[in-house]
């Protein structure tokens, strides 16, 4: 086996691994439209270079696009708290990493702030989700 065969074989094996990874990304229910669109383009191009490029940079960029849409949806909700709105407005034009961090941590904290306000709990039927999930109604035993 010469060096050229080894390089070609490795390149093709890597492309097959990349193809499998991309198919898994497409099949992930958490993958957004942008990620699925770009992953599908890479598979349709079907070159080792296109597959690798998607995994190295295209995936991150497509995820940032999907994350920006998710933040925009949060901002479109008129019932969010002022704290969550301010945090979402601060991050909407941020980097891919900032968007992801906000969605993984900041939006959750912001939603907790929303639910900590009694008026927001009333609008949602009287019981914040976290309290109702553990059987707390927020009402005293003397309440009807």
Largest CA distance in the chain: 85
CB 42 within 8 A of CB 54: yes
Parent domain of 109: 3-126
- Is residue 30, in this structure, part of any structural domain at all? yes
From CA 120, how far away is CA 74, in angstroms rounded?
15
Residue 19 vs residues 12, 59, 66, 142: alpha-carbon distances, Å? 10, 13, 21, 62
- Is residue 112, in this structure, part of any structural domain at all? yes
Mean pLDDT lowest among 36-45, 58-67, 110-119, 120-129: 120-129
Tens-place pLDDT, residues 73-121:
999 999 998 989 999 999 999 999 999 999 988 766 655 544 444 443 3
Instruction: Give the number of domains in the chain.
Output: 1
Q: What is the mean pLDDT of residues 2-13?
A: 65
Distance separating the N- and C-terminal Cα atoms of the chain: 83
């Amino acid at each position: 086996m010469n060096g050229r065969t080894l390089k070609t074989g490795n390149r093709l094996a890597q492309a097959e691994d990349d193809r499998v990874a991309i198919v898994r990304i497409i099949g992930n229910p958490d993958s957004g439209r942008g990620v699925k669109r770009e992953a599908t383009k890479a598979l349709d191009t079907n070159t080792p270079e296109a597959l690798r490029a998607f995994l190295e940079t295209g995936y991150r960029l497509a995820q940032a696009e999907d994350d920006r849409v998710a933040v925009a949806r949060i901002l479109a909700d008129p019932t969010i708290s002022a704290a969550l709105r301010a945090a979402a407005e601060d991050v909407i034009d941020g980097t891919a990493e900032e968007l992801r961090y906000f969605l993984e941590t900041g939006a959750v904290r912001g939603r907790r702030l929303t639910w900590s306000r009694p008026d927001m709990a009333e609008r949602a039927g009287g019981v914040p989700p976290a309290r109702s999930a553990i059987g707390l109604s927020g009402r005293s035993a003397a309440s009807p």
